[in-house]
Every structure is written in structure tokens, then in C-alpha cells.
Amino acid sequence: MNVFGLLPYADETELTGPAASAFDPAFMRRMAEAFDRHGYERVLIAQSAASPDPMLVAASVLEWTDRLKVMIAHRPGFVAPTMAARMLATLDRMSGGRAGVHIITATNDAETQGDGDFLTKEQRYHRSREYVGLLRRIWAGGEAFDHDGDFYRTRGSRTLIRPVDGTVPIFWGGASGLGVQFGGECADCYALAGGTRATVARLVGEVRAAAAAAGRDCPRMLMSIRVVIAEDDGAAWARAHEIAGKVRAGARIGLGSGSDASAARRVAEAAAARTADDPCLWGGVIEATGGTSHAMALVGGPDELAAALRAYQAIGVDDVLLRGFDNLADADAVGALLVPRLG
């Protein structure tokens, strides 16, 4: 089971509120070097309608590190897919095969409109599927080709550069009907949010069915979940309750996104987690922020957390993206205590 990390643009969490600067390259470098040093497989570089450019940040991360791979969040619709394919292939070649792209369709219409994208969520999913097809076609190389699709039209498309292994891994997220269907059809790795084992098992089954219907093997499954880690189980739960109390008392920001409906759904899921047959699962920060945080978490000492993650592996999760509540300290703790147990 590979462990991925998340690279924040600045040192802020639900506990601290906004950092003095929204973009801190020195902090990002310390985080990237920690991930590299501890043997994390890959790091996610996120994207929003207001965030820094993840493609340029990824180039720096690849320069700062020796073996760490990147997972660049990328929203179709703003860069031509033929150009994006060459950009990603260039990063992949320059880094010796360490590039990866996470196709983000986005759930929030209002947020995407900040970048001038007024398509509906359903339209964006269809565009993303066509976009992935063009990425793969460019990476395949060969003769120039024409394309006439619903969202893109090209003539004489070709490339002078291809990825190291002939392709760049494509990650995909989205738990709605089209998100699951198209993820099963075109992703190399399907990314899902952590939840109860029953919820995760159901989603894994849906993706497997979608892949089978498209005549494909199931993509790898990547589960993203927060962790509260300490030297033993009791200390971890004490830390979790302290975190929730600080968040509630300070009315700190939630670093999530989405609609009011998605926030309400997260609160309901957090409440359900308290009674689920998942002894490490905890949604205290989700409840403390009214659902503005995505922070469903696993709480425990290293042995308890490793056992919980192996239980997810048994139902089909291949890899995990883990993030704590103290960015650098928790990246070090996960790297030192969990990565060796899961490798």
C-alpha cells in the first residue's frame, strides 16, 4: 500500500486559520523534502479557481526532490488538451517519469465560474472524458490526427515529446453517477474520500462495475483521509478531542469546498461515523466546522492506524493519501511511523 501526501501552499489548517501568506515556497519545499525523505510515493498539488498554478509548483517540487512523484490537480477547460499533454510529458521526461495528473471536474458551479467556466457539472464530466481521450491520444505519438468532438476540435495534432513510459498516470475523482462511470472508463487510479468501510466498499464496487462495463480492468483505488496520530491509541484520541475543541472554540476556517448541500452531507456522514463499525473513524472536525472541512479522519497509535488502513485495503483500496492537522509534524510522524508499516 503506497502512501501519498498533500502539499499545502502555506502552513495553514483548520486549527491555525489562514497563514500570513497564502503562498509560501520555503514551507512547500520543507514539506516536499519531508515527503521525499520518508518514502511517500507521490504528493497531490491541489487546484482551485483562486489557487496558485499547480503545474508550475510541480516543476519546483520535482526539482527539490529525488524520488517523490507528483499528482497535479488539473481542471479541463482552460488549457487545450493537446497542449496539456505536452506540458505533462515535458515534466515527466525532465523528472525521469515522476509526473501524474489528477483530473478535477469540480462539484461547485459557482467556484468554477470564477475562472469563466459556466458549464454544468454533467457537461464538465463529459468534457473531462473527452479531454482524457485526447491526452492519451497525444501521448501515444504516431502520425498527426484530426479530432471532432463535443468540446474540442483539432487538425493535425501531434507531439514531439512523449512521457517516459508512454503515458502519464491519470487520477480521477467524483462520486456521482457520471464521476463513477467515466472514472471506471478512463482512469488509471480512481480517487475517493475516506468514510466508513461500508461506504468505501460500495463505491469500490461501483467503480469496478463501471470499468467492467467498459471492458477494462478496475483502476487502482486511492483513498484520501485525515489522520490523528500519536505514540499510542489513548494519546491519539486525547489529541483528537483537543483538536475538535480548538476548532470549535476558535471558529477557524474550514479548508474544504463545495455547496451547502455537500457540507450538510459531510456533517451527516460524520455523525454516522460515530456509530459505525470502524473504531478508528472520527468526524469531529467536520462537525466542528459545520461541514466546511472535509476532515474525516482515522485516530490511533501507529499499530491501530496501520490495522485500520489494512482493513480498507482488504475491501479494495490500493493506496492512501494521508494528511494530519499539523502539516509538517504530522507529515514526519506518518512518514516515520506509518509508511514503514504499510510498505
| Domain CATH number, residue 168 | 3.20.20.30
Mean pLDDT of 51-71: 97
Poorest-pLDDT segment among 104-113, 249-258, 311-320: 249-258
Q: Which residue has the higher pLDDT, 253 or 92?
A: 92
Task: Supply the pLDDT for residue 55.
Answer: 97
Task: Supply the pLDDT for residue 251.
Answer: 52
Q: Are β-strands 153-157 and 145-148 bridged in parallel, bridged antiparallel, or unpaired?
A: antiparallel
Q: Which residues form the domain of 22?
A: 2-342
Nearest Cα to Cα of residue 53 among 71, 73, 33: 73
State the amino acid at position 251 in one-letter form: A
Give the contacts of 196 (CB within 8 A, at least 6 positions apart): 269, 272, 273, 276, 277, 278, 281
Poorest-pLDDT segment among 58-72, 140-154, 160-174, 283-297: 283-297
Confidence of residue 271 (pLDDT cuts 50, 70, 90): confident
- List, for residues 279-295, the tens digit of each pLDDT value: 999 999 998 888 888 88
Mean pLDDT of 42-55: 94
Task: Please report where in the chains the cell 464538465 appears, as a residue.
Answer: 124
Enumerate the β-bridge partners of residue 298: 227, 281
**pLDDT higher than threshold 80 for residue 158:** yes
Task: Supply the pLDDT for residue 15.
Answer: 81
In angstroms, the CA 276 to CA 315 distance is: 16
pTM here is 0.94
In angstroms, the CA 156 to CA 144 distance is: 5
Calculate the average pLDDT of the chain: 93
Enumerate the β-bridge partners of residue 220: 189
C-alpha dist (Å) from residue 58 to 42, 65, 223: 11, 11, 21
Mean pLDDT of 249-261: 60
Confidence of residue 258 (pLDDT cuts 50, 70, 90): low
- Number of domains composing the chain: 1
Task: Supply the pLDDT for residue 83.
Answer: 98
Task: Supply the pLDDT for residue 255.
Answer: 45
In angstroms, the CA 303 to CA 258 distance is: 34
**pLDDT higher than threshold 70 for residue 257:** no
Confidence of residue 268 (pLDDT cuts 50, 70, 90): confident
Mean pLDDT of 189-205: 95
Torsion sign over Cα 316, 339, 46, 62: negative
Nearest Cα to Cα of residue 273 among 329, 193, 154, 190: 193
